[in-house]
C-alpha cells in the first residue's frame, strides 16, 4: 500500500512499527514468523519428548527388513521375504496402475456422458443427467464397497463352472467372471515377438509422420491426401505381415478350470476391478460435467461463423468447437485425474494392495513406525500432485489465449 | 401504372387466406416426439436403446423394492417370508434404524436429543440460506452451536452457557474498539473471550449437576449422526479459515504468503485418508505427553484443515476474478486493508465463489465417510462393521448400501440444488 503524503522526516519512533505503513508489514510478518517458529518448536520438543518416553527413534531401517506378508496382486516379483521397501514399490506400482486404468475409462465415460447430455435426444440427455446426478452425489467409498460386494457376493464361485450341469459358463471360452476376480487370456511372448512389437512401434511413428506430411502438404499446396484408410493400413499391415512371417510368436494363454480354481490366463482381482470401476463411474460423472461446461462455453456464434464459411458439421466440431472447448475442459480434467490418484487411496477399504494399504496399512501396523510411514506416504502423493500441477501449468501457459 | 398491370394479370386474390392449422405431425406432442426422440435413424436406435436400459433397470429394481419385507427380525425369517422371491429384506432398516442413525453406544433414551438438534439445524440455517426471512432469526443461528452442543454431548447447561457468555464478552470488547482498528479489536476480543472462558472454567465444574442432560462421550457418537456432526462442524469452521488462507495467499507480505501457499499446496496434494492416519496414529506424538483429547476432535481438526485449503483455493479464484478497479476504488476511498476487504472485496468475491464453496461442502460431506477406515462407526462404518458382521443380517447388502446411498444423495443433491437457486437469486446483472 502506498501513501500519497511525503515520508515523514525525523527520528524513528517505536510506535511507527504499528502505525506507519512502511514498517507495519514488517511487524506483522515478524510476528507471523515468530509464531510459526514457536509452533514448530512446540511440536518438535513434544515429538522428541514423546519419542524418548516411548523409547523410539526416527529411523528408516525398517524399510530393509523383510516385510513378512503376502500381496496377492503384484506386477513385480514379490514374496513375503522381500523387504518393506519392495512392498512399498509394489504398492506404488499398484496405485499408478489403478489410477492409470481409471483415468482412461473415466475419460471415455465422461466424454460420452457429457456429449450425450447435450444431445437433442430428450430421453438420452435425461438419462445422462440422472447418471451424473446419482454418481456425483453419493460418496465414492460407498460406490467402491457396492461394486466390491457385487464382485464378491453376486458373481459365481469358480466351482460353479465345473461339471456337466454347471450353473455358470465362460464368455467365448476365454473370459471367466468369478467371485475371485475376472480371468482373461494372457499373451505369451515367444521368441521373435519383440520384432513384432518393434514393427508395431515403428508403424505408429510412421503413421504420425504420414499425417504430419499430409497436413503440411494441405497447407502448402491445398492438395488433400486421404487420412482414414492409409492410417489404418500403415498401422496394422506391417505388424500383421511380420507376425505371420515370424511364425505367430505371440500366443494367448487361456484360463482353464483346474480343480477348484482357474489356472492360466491373467487374473484381475476383485478389489482391483471394484476400485477401477467405482473410480471410473464416479469421476466419469464429474468429467461429464466438465465436458458439458466446456462445450457450452463456446459461443454459438463460433459454430454459426464456421457454418457460414461452408464447413460441414463434422469439421465445425473438429476444427472450431473442439480446439476451443479443450482449452476449457483440460485443466479441470487434469485435476480430476489428480482426484482419481488421491481417491485410489481408498483401496485400503477393499484390500487392494496400493501404497496406502501396504506402506500406510500393514507395514505401519507391523513395524509401528507410524511417523515414518505416514511421512513417506504423504511425500509420495505430494510428489505426484506437484508434478502433475507443474505439467498442467506448462500446458495452461501454452494454450492460454495469446492477447495483444 | 396499376391500370396497365391490372390489365395484364387475369386474376389477383384480394383477400387474405385464413390461417391453416399446422400439419398434425408438426405440432403438439407428436412434433415433440418426432423432434426429440425419433428425428433420424441413429437417434431412433439411441432412443430404443435408452428405453431398453430403463426397462432393464426398472424391471429389476421395482419388484425388489415393492415386494420387500419390512417386519422380520433377522435374515433367516426374512428369507422364509420371501420364499425364494427376488425382493429386498428391508426389515434390516426397521430393525437397525436407531443403530444406522445414532450408532451403537448412544444412550437409547437420549435419541430425541440428536433428533432435536437435527430439526433445530434447519431453523438455524434458514436465515443464513434464505435472505427474505426476518433478520432477528439470525439470533437463533448464533445460539444454535451452544444448544446443539448441549443437546448432543449433554452435561450441564452451564458449560455451553459460559462459552456463550465468554463469546459475548469478546464480542462486546470487539465492537467497542472496531471503529479504531479492526486488527486491534479482533485480537482484543479474542483475548477477552479466552480469558473469560478460562475464568468460567473454574466455576462450571461446581455446577455440573445443575440443568444437566446425561453426558455422552464423543467416542459413543456413530451412525449418520456422526457424518452430520462432522459435516456441519467442519464446513462451518473451514469457511472462515479458508477466507483467511485465501487472503494470506493473495497478500503482498512475502512471509505470510509463503506460509499460506505451503499449507494449501501441502494439504491439497495429499489424500484425506493420510490426514486421517495422522489424526489417528501420528498426532499424539506432537502433543505434550499426557494430553489425550478424543479421536473425533482430532478428526474434526484434520478435516477442517483439509476443507479450508480447498475453500481457500475457491475463494482465491473469486478474489482473482474481481476487476482490479474494485481494489483501486477501495484504496482511493481511503479505506484501510481490513475495511476494504470487509466492505468491498469479500462480499463480491464470496458471491462469485458460492458454487465452488458449495461443491467443496458437498465433497467434504461425502468425505466424512472416510472416517470408517480409521475404525470410527459412522454410517458406512456401522454397515460394514456391526450390522453386516452380525449373524442376524450377514448377507443383506443392497438394502443397506441403498439406504446409505439414498441418505447421502438426498443431502448432497439438496445442497447443490440450493446453490443453483442461490446463484439465480444473486444475479445482479441482467441477461
The reply to whether residue B289 touches residue A153, judged by beta carbons under 8 angstroms, is no
Q: How far is B203 from chain A (nearest CA, A)?
A: 30
Instruction: Report if residue A173 sits inside a domain.
Output: no
Q: Residue A138: its pLDDT value, please?
A: 93
Residues B42-93: pLDDT tens digits?
888 888 988 999 999 998 888 888 888 888 888 888 888 877 777 888 888 8
Q: Residue A284: its pLDDT value, please?
A: 94
For residue A177, give the 3-state DSSP assignment: strand
Instruction: Report if residue B164 sits inside a domain.
Output: no
Cβ-Cβ contacts under 8 Å, A348 against chain B: 273, 373
Residues B101-112: pLDDT tens digits?
888 888 888 888
Q: Residue B413: its pLDDT value, please?
A: 93
Q: How far is A343 from chain B (nearest CA, A)?
A: 7
DSSP A182-230: EEE-EEEE-TTHHHHHHHHHHHHHHHHHHHHHHHHHHHHH------HHH
Q: Which of residues 385 through 404 in chain B touch A, CB cutoff 8 A?
A: 395, 397-398, 401, 404
Cβ-Cβ contacts under 8 Å, A377 against chain B: 270, 274, 277
pLDDT band of A325, cuts 50, 70, 90: confident
Instruction: Report if residue B173 sits inside a domain.
Output: no
Mean pLDDT, chain B, integer: 85
Instruction: Report if residue A37 sits inside a domain.
Output: yes
**Packed helices B41-66 and A122-136: angle between N→C axes, nearest 10 degrees:** 50
Instruction: Report if residue A25 sits inside a domain.
Output: yes
Helix residue spans in B131-208 (DSSP H): 138-153, 158-177, 182-203
Nearest CA in chain A to B37: A121
Cβ-Cβ contacts under 8 Å, A136 against chain B: 412
Q: Residue B429: its pLDDT value, please?
A: 64
Domain boundary among B34, B66, B98: B66
The reply to whether residue A385 touches residue B268, judged by beta carbons under 8 angstroms, is yes
Instruction: Report if residue B166 sits inside a domain.
Output: no
Instruction: Report if residue A46 sits inside a domain.
Output: yes
In terms of phi and psi (left: phi > 0; alpha: psi -120 to 50; beta: otherwise), the region of A275 is alpha
Nearest CA in chain A to B227: A139
Q: Which of residues 5 through 44 in chain A touch B, CB cutoff 8 A?
A: 25, 28-29, 32-33, 36, 43
- Residues 6 or more apart in contact with residue A184 via CB below 8 angstroms: A174, A175, A255, A265, A266, A268
Share of chain B above pLDDT 90, in %: 22
For residue B300, give the 3-state DSSP assignment: helix
Nearest CA in chain A to B416: A137
Is residue A341 within 8 Å of A95, Cβ to Cβ? yes
Residues A15-49: pLDDT tens digits?
777 667 777 788 888 888 999 999 999 988 988 88
Q: Residue B431: its pLDDT value, please?
A: 53
Half-sphere exposure of A360 (CA within 13 A, CB side): 35
Q: How far apart are CA B395 and CA A68, in angstroms?
A: 32
Q: Which of B50, B252, B282 sits opposite A127 (nearest CB)?
A: B50
Over residues B235-249, mean pLDDT:
92
Q: Which of A47, A137, A364 sits opposite B413 (nearest CB)?
A: A137
> Is residue B281 located within the same domain as residue B240?
yes
pTM for the model:
0.86
Q: Which of residues 153 through 182 in chain A touch B, CB cutoff 8 A?
A: 153
Nearest CA in chain A to B40: A121
Over residues A157-185, mean pLDDT:
72
Q: Is A129 on the interface with B (CB under 8 A)?
A: no
Q: Is pLDDT of B5 > 60?
A: no
Q: Residue A352: its pLDDT value, please?
A: 87
Cβ-Cβ contacts under 8 Å, A141 against chain B: 369-370, 372-373, 380
- Residues 6 or more apart in contact with residue B16 via CB below 8 angstroms: none
Q: How far is B155 from chain A (nearest CA, A)?
A: 32
Q: How far apart are CA B156 and CA B142, in angstroms?
A: 20
> Is residue B425 located within the same domain as residue B405?
yes
Is residue A175 within 8 Å of A182, Cβ to Cβ? yes
Half-sphere exposure of A195 (CA within 13 A, CB side): 14
Bridge partners for A252 per DSSP: A187
Grid cell for residue A397 = 501457459
Instruction: Report if residue A4 sits inside a domain.
Output: no
Residues B361-412: pLDDT tens digits?
999 999 999 999 888 888 999 888 888 888 888 878 888 899 999 999 999 9
Domain boundary among B66, B91, B126: B66
Residues A121-140: pLDDT tens digits?
888 889 999 999 999 999 99
pLDDT band of B6, cuts 50, 70, 90: low
Residues B17-49: pLDDT tens digits?
888 888 877 778 888 888 777 878 888 888 898
> Is residue B36 located within the same domain as residue B72?
no
Q: Is pLDDT of A342 > 80?
A: yes
Cβ-Cβ contacts under 8 Å, B274 against chain A: 345, 356, 360, 374, 377-378, 381
- CATH code for position B352: 1.10.3720.10
Residues B185-227: pLDDT tens digits?
888 888 888 888 888 878 777 776 677 778 888 888 888 999 9
Q: Is A314 on the interface with B (CB under 8 A)?
A: no
The reply to whether residue B337 touches residue A25, judged by beta carbons under 8 angstroms, is no
Is residue A184 within 8 Å of A255, Cβ to Cβ? yes
Cβ-Cβ contacts under 8 Å, B408 against chain A: 137-139, 142
Over residues A77-84, mean pLDDT:
80
Identify which has the larger pLDDT, A30 or B9: A30
> Is residue B380 located within the same domain as residue B317?
yes
Range of the domain at B309: 68-106+220-431
pLDDT band of B238, cuts 50, 70, 90: very high
Instruction: Give the ipTM.
Output: 0.87
Q: Is B52 on the interface with A (CB under 8 A)?
A: no
> Is residue B404 located within the same domain as residue B353?
yes
Is residue A275 within 8 Å of A350, Cβ to Cβ? yes
Q: Which of residues 243 through 272 in chain B touch A, CB cutoff 8 A?
A: 252-256, 259, 265-266, 268-272
Q: Which of residues 223 through 282 in chain A touch B, CB cutoff 8 A?
A: none
Q: Residue B4: its pLDDT value, please?
A: 56
Q: How far is A149 from chain B (nearest CA, A)?
A: 7
Identify which has the larger pLDDT, A393 or A169: A393
Distances (CA, A) of A260 to A152, A185, A256, B285, B385: 16, 19, 11, 49, 30
Is residue B92 within 8 Å of B393, Cβ to Cβ? yes
Q: How far apart are CA B230 and CA B380, in angstroms?
A: 14
Q: Residue A305: its pLDDT value, please?
A: 93
- How many domains are contained in chain A? 1
DSSP state of A364: H
User: How many pairs of residues across A and B have Cβ atoms under 8 Å apart?
Assistant: 154
The reply to whether residue A123 touches residue B50, judged by beta carbons under 8 angstroms, is yes
Instruction: Report if residue A44 sits inside a domain.
Output: yes
pLDDT band of B95, cuts 50, 70, 90: confident
Identify which has the larger pLDDT, B396 or A339: A339
Q: Residue A380: its pLDDT value, please?
A: 93
Q: How far apart are CA A331 and CA A290, in angstroms?
A: 10
Instruction: Report if residue A29 sits inside a domain.
Output: yes
> Is residue B59 located within the same domain as residue B76?
no
- How many domains are contained in chain B? 2
Mean pLDDT, chain A, integer: 83
Q: Residue A167: its pLDDT value, please?
A: 65
Range of the domain at A26: 17-54
For residue A170, give the 3-state DSSP assignment: coil
> Is residue B86 located within the same domain as residue B57?
no
Q: How far apart are CA B310 and CA B243, in angstroms?
A: 10
> Is residue B275 located within the same domain as residue B336?
yes
Q: How far is B33 from chain A (nearest CA, A)?
A: 9
DSSP state of A71: -
Q: Residue A164: its pLDDT value, please?
A: 62
Q: What's the distance, Cα to Cα, between the start and end of chain B in Å?
A: 51
Range of B215-224, B258-267, B346-355, B418-427 with top mean pLDDT: B258-267
Q: Residue B275: its pLDDT value, please?
A: 92
Amino acid at each position: 500500500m502506498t501513501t500519497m503524503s511525503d515520508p515523514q522526516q525525523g527520528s524513528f519512533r517505536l510506535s511507527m512499527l504499528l502505525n506507519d505503513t512502511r514498517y507495519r508489514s514488517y511487524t506483522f510478518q515478524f510476528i507471523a514468523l515468530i509464531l510459526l517458529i514457536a509452533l514448530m518448536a512446540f511440536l518438535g520438543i513434544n515429538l522428541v519428548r514423546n519419542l524418548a518416553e516411548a523409547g523410539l527413534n526416527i529411523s528408516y531401517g525398517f524399510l530393509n527388513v523383510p516385510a513378512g506378508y503376502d500381496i496377492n496382486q503384484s506386477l513385480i516379483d514379490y514374496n513375503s521375504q522381500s523387504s518393506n521397501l519392495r512392498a512399498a514399490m509394489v504398492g506404488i506400482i499398484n496405485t499408478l496402475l489403478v489410477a492409470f486404468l481409471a483415468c482412461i475409462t473415466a475419460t471415455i465415460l465422461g466424454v460420452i456422458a457429457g456429449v450425450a447430455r447435450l444431445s437433442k435426444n430428450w430421453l438420452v440427455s435425461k438419462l445422462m443427467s440422472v447418471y451424473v446426478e446419482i454418481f456425483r452425489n453419493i460418496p465414492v467409498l460407498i460406490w467402491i464397497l457396492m461394486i466390491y460386494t457385487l464382485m464378491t457376493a453376486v458373481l459365481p464361485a469358480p466351482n460353479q463352472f465345473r461339471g456337466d450341469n454347471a450353473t455358470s459358463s465362460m464368455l467365448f471360452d476365454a473370459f471367466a467372471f468369478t467371485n475371485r476376480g475376472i480371468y482373461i487370456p494372457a499373451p505369451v511372448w515367444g521368441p521373435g515377438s519383440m520384432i513384432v512389437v518393434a514393427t508395431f512401434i515403428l508403424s505408429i511413428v510412421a503413421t504420425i509422420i504420414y499425417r504430419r506430411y499430409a497436413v503440411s502438404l494441405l497447407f502448402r499446396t491445398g492438395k488433400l491426401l486421404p487420412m482414414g484408410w492409409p492410417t489404418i493400413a500403415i498401422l496394422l499391415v506391417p505388424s500383421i505381415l511380420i507376425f505371420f512371417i515370424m511364425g505367430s510368436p505371440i500366443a494367448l494363454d487361456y484360463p482353464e478350470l483346474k480343480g477348484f480354481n482357474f489356472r492360466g490366463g491373467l487374473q484381475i482381482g476383485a478389489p482391483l476391478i471394484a476400485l477401477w470401476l467405482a473410480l471410473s463411474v464416479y469421476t466419469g460423472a464429474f468429467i461429464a460435467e466438465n465436458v458439458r461446461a466446456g462445450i457450452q462455453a463456446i459461443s454459438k456464434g463460433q459454430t454459426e461463423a464456421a457454418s457460414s464459411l461452408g464447413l460441414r458439421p463434422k469439421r465445425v466440431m473438429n476444427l472450431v468447437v473442439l480446439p476451443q472447448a479443450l482449452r476449457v475442459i483440460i485443466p479441470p480434467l487434469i485435476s480430476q485425474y489428480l482426484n482419481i490418484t488421491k481417491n485410489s487411496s481408498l483401496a485400503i477399504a477393499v484390500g487392494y494392495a496400493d501404497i496406502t494399504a501396504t506402506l500406510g496399512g500393514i507395514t505401519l501396523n507391523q513395524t509401528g513406525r507410524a511417523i515414518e510411514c505416514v511421512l513417506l506416504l504423504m511425500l509420495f502423493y505430494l510428489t505426484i500432485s506437484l508434478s502433475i500441477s507443474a505439467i498442467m501449468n506448462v500446458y495452461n501457459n501454452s494454450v492460454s489465449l495469446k492477447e495483444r | 401504372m396499376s391500370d396497365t398491370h391490372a390489365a395484364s394479370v387475369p386474376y389477383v386474390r384480394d383477400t387474405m387466406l385464413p390461417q391453416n392449422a399446422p400439419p398434425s405431425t408438426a405440432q403438439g406432442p407428436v412434433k415433440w416426439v418426432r423432434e426429440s426422440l425419433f428425428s433420424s435413424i441413429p437417434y431412433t436406435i439411441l432412443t430404443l436403446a435408452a428405453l431398453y436400459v430403463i426397462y432393464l433397470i426398472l424391471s429389476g429394481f421395482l419388484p425388489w423394492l415393492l415386494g420387500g419385507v419390512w417386519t422380520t427380525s433377522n435374515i433367516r425369517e426374512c428369507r422364509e417370508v420371501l420364499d425364494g422371491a427376488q425382493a429386498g429384506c428391508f426389515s434390516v432398516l426397521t430393525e437397525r434404524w436407531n443403530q444406522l442413525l445414532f450408532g451403537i453406544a448412544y444412550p437409547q433414551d437420549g435419541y430425541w436429543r440428536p433428533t432435536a438438534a437435527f430439526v433445530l439445524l434447519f431453523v438455524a440455517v434458514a436465515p443464513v440460506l434464505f435472505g427474505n426471512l426476518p433478520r432477528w432469526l439470525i439470533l437463533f443461528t448464533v445460539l444454535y452451536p451452544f444448544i446443539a452442543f448441549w443437546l448432543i454431548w449433554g452435561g450441564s447447561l452451564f458449560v455451553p452457557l459460559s462459552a456463550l457468555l465468554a463469546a459475548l464478552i469478546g464480542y462486546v470488547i470487539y465492537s467497542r474498539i472496531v471503529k479504531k482498528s479492526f486488527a486491534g479489536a479482533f485480537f482484543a476480543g479474542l483475548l477477552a473471550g479466552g480469558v473469560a472462558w478460562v475464568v468460567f472454567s473454574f466455576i462450571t465444574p461446581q455446577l455440573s449437576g445443575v440443568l444437566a442432560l446425561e453426558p455422552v462421550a464423543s467416542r459413543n457418537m456413530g451412525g449418520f449422526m456422526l457424518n452430520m456432526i462432522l459435516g456441519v462442524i467442519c464446513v462451518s469452521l473451514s469457511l472462515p479459515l479458508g477466507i483467511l488462507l485465501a487472503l494470506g495467499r493473495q497478500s503482498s507480505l512475502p512471509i505470510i504468503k509463503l506460509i499460506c501457499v505451503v499449507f494449501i499446496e501441502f494439504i491439497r496434494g495429499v489424500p484425506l485418508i493420510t490426514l486421517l492416519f495422522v489424526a489417528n496414529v501420528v498426532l499424539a506424538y506432537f502433543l505434550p505427553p499426557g494430553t489425550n483429547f478424543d479421536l473425533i476432535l482430532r478428526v474434526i481438526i484434520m478435516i477442517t484443515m483439509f476443507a479450508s485449503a480447498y475453500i481457500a483455493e475457491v475463494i482465491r479464484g473469486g478474489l482473482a476474478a474481481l476487476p482490479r478497479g474494485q481494489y483501486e476504488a477501495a484504496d482511493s476511498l481511503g479505506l484501510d486493508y481490513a475495511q476494504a476487504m470487509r466492505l468491498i472485496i469479500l462480499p463480491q468475491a464470496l458471491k462469485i465463489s458460492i458454487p465452488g464453496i458449495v461443491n467443496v461442502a458437498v465433497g467434504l460431506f461425502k468425505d466424512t465417510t472416510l472416517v470408517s477406515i480409521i475404525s470410527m462407526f459412522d454410517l458406512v462404518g456401522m454397515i460394514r462393521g456391526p450390522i453386516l458382521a452380525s449373524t442376524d443380517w450377514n448377507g443383506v447388502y443392497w438394502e443397506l448400501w441403498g439406504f446409505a446411498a439414498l441418505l447421502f444423495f438426498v443431502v448432497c443433491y439438496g445442497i447443490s440444488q440450493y446453490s443453483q437457486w442461490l446463484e439465480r437469486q444473486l444475479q445482479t446483472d441482467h441477461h
